[in-house]
Chains A and B, each alone.
Chain A
Amino acid sequence: MSPPASPLHGSLPPEGADLPWGGPAAGRMSAAPVVEIRNLWTVFRNGGVDALIHKDLNLTIQQGELLSIVGGSGSGKTVLLRQILGLETPLRGSITVLGRPASELTHDGAASRVGMLFQHGALYSAFTVLENIAFPLRELNTLPEDLVRDAVMVKLQMVGLDPAHAHKMPADLSGGMIKRVALARALIMDPPLLLLDEPTAGLDPDRSDAFCTLVRSLHHELGLTVVMVTHDLDTIYEISTRVAVVADRHVIVDAPPKEVIAFDHPFVREFFLGGRGLRAQELLRLHPHAQ
């Protein structure tokens, strides 16, 4: 019933402790976990055959963490993100996000609770960059237009985009710019939780490095909790404070990157200590800024 043992949990209060939550005092939220997944079961029905994706999966994400979820193809990482967002309902088990069930997350005002960077950006193709980022703010229908515009311009430059791009359409942007705009849109309401699905997929090494630096600095400056699904070993080593490996239908290990590498499991060996993994570690040694 308890989540997989992790050295990190030692310093934190016991899970399930009754913490004051949701009230105005929630400004200091260091104690309660941001995301708590308990005994999750996921089943995919494919052509009449049920495939069990997750079985008794447990994962706890504390505030201020930068967690990478790693796993083989089809191990249900993206599904996990979608379940945290409340876009999909698990067969069994509970997911609590910011003290409330995940299924309530997409209710009114979701943009101020959670930001999601979809793999392909999911920008609204009929809107300009400015309108895309402003969308959640404008939906509130109260804030004056100039304040909204100023807030958008700040976010646009925070993610490293030039103000000149504000009037462009998503179709005119490159892949890296689309991800940045999508990140700016996810952050427009300053949500405490940010989810990233393959944030560096489809970016060249230069851009993916720049993106990692950006996420790390935002994580640091805004005190965000970041959860990302990625295959990119460089990204994992460079920015994550904790790695959760999903294999055999549950989280097999959940620890800082260095401890995960030492964990003895076929998938971990294959993934981290295969040719690519070793090369990435080599790079890490050459560029010690990563840790």
Chain B
Amino acid sequence: MEDSQPRIAFEQAPDGPCARLLGRWTAEALAQPEHWEGVHAALHTVQQEWRRCQWDLRQLQRLDHTGAQLLWNSWYRQWPDRLEALPAQRAMLERVARFSSVLPPRRRQTAWDLFLRLGAVVVRIEEHVVGAVRLIGQLLLDAVQLARAPRSGPWRDVSGNLYRIGATALPITALVGFLIGVVLAYLMAQQLRQFGADAFIVNILGISLIRELGPVLAAILIAGRSGSAITAQIGVMRVTEELDAMKVMGIQQGFRLVLPRAMAMAVAMPLLSVWTTLAALLGGMLASDLVMGLTPAYFVTALSKAVLVSNLWLAVGKSTVFGLMIALIGCHYGLRIQPNTQSLGEGTTASVVTSITMVILVDALFAVVFKDVGI
């Protein structure tokens, strides 16, 4: 291996200087930093008299296109007067010479491009709005169709989605809810103890968990878990042309893809929200028992007095809206995906971000509109 280092040997022959190339002039060998510096320096010293110099390539162990390119560039892209090379090496240099061209510059951005880009943003927003309206309208039409002929509905799809969205989410929502309940109870306990208002922990936990945190927490978890799955499922169907295959068979996408998911979400979301709330209350109850010595029996009796039933109805109603929204946003982004993998990733991310944002936004709306209910 001692000879494979690419290098240039200079000699003063009677008829002028001679540069003899030795070693392996390949991209891999040249790219080793210690080799590169030597070759670079040698080519630099020969720069002034490169044309007078005799170039001898015949003793090279190997020359590849990168090595030939380096040589050609150091010759200022012209042939030297005297070149000794094997036919294959000459052919390679000729190929490099023929194809060495300047890279066409990237087009510069102008103000006009920026203006056009602004226009593209407006068009995209318009597309989103139109697409969303169309999706909701189609969902209503499909719901009417289902109401007319409930027997021919996509019930298998509904039950499958119900299982995937609802049943399989039970453990994770319970765990998160339970932990949030524990955290809240610990925080509240310390604050309330300062005022000697220990018993009010039931009111605070009850109202905040049942009315707000339970539904929002469940919705955010499901948006991340199932909203992204809906987008990815439909997006993959687009990439693999399954959506086109459905269309060709005359199967309505709205009825078979959007409706079952929306229905499953609308049913599963309130149930999951109640489930999460229960887990959170359990966590809060245990924590208050540990920290403050509030017995679970007291907690339960105080809870029924502290929290009006209307809060529960509000939470359930809110969750149904969240569920529908997550499903529709997931389907909306899924159906917009272009048949390439990059679009699939972007669409899934956008879907999750949008649905979580919308959940919080709509929750704020609910809080304002129903400020007089249940408190």
Residues of chain A touching chain B, judged by Cβ–Cβ distance below 8 Å, are 23-24, 27, 109, 112, 125-126, 130, 136-137, 140-143, 146-147, 149-151, 153-158, 163-164, 166-167, 171, 188-190, 221, 223
The reply to whether the CB of B96 lies closer than 8 angstroms to some CB of chain A is yes
The reply to whether the CB of B69 lies closer than 8 angstroms to some CB of chain A is yes
Is the Cβ of B104 less than 8 Å from the Cβ of A158? no
Query: Interface-forming stretch among B59-67, B182-190, B265-273, B326-334?
Result: B59-67
Number of interface residues of B (CB under 8 A): 35
Q: Which residues of B contact A163 (CB under 8 A)?
A: 101, 103-104
B3-33 at interface with A (beta carbon < 8 Å): 3-4, 24, 26-28, 30-33
Is the Cβ of B31 less than 8 Å from the Cβ of A27? no
Q: Which residues of A contact B95 (CB under 8 A)?
A: 154, 158, 221
Bound together, the chains give a CA A189 to CA B341 distance in angstroms of 28
Residues of chain B touching chain A, judged by Cβ–Cβ distance below 8 Å, are 1-4, 24, 26-28, 30-33, 36, 61-62, 64-66, 69-70, 73, 88, 91, 95-96, 98-101, 103-104, 106, 340-342
Bound together, the chains give a CA A166 to CA B27 distance in angstroms of 21
Partner of A126, one of B26, B32, B104, B342: B342
Partner of A190, one of B3, B66, B99, B340: B66
The chain A residue with its CB closest to the CB of B98 is A157
* A190 CB to nearest chain B CB (Å): 4
Residue contacts A-B, CB under 8 angstroms, 21 given: A23-B1, A24-B4, A24-B24, A109-B28, A112-B26, A112-B28, A125-B340, A125-B342, A137-B27, A143-B27, A143-B31, A146-B73, A147-B66, A151-B27, A151-B65, A157-B99, A163-B103, A163-B104, A167-B106, A188-B27, A190-B64
Is the Cβ of B27 less than 8 Å from the Cβ of A24? no
Given contacts A125-B341, A137-B66, contact A130 B27 (CB under 8 A): no
3 A-B pairs with the lowest CB-CB distances in the bound complex, closest first: A140-B31, A190-B64, A157-B99
Q: Which residues of A contact B91 (CB under 8 A)?
A: 221
Is the Cβ of A27 less than 8 Å from the Cβ of B101? no
Is the Cβ of A154 less than 8 Å from the Cβ of B103? no
Is the Cβ of A158 less than 8 Å from the Cβ of B27? no
The chain A residue with its CB closest to the CB of B60 is A27
* B62 CB to nearest chain A CB (Å): 5
* B27 CB to nearest chain A CB (Å): 5
Is the Cβ of A154 less than 8 Å from the Cβ of B100? yes
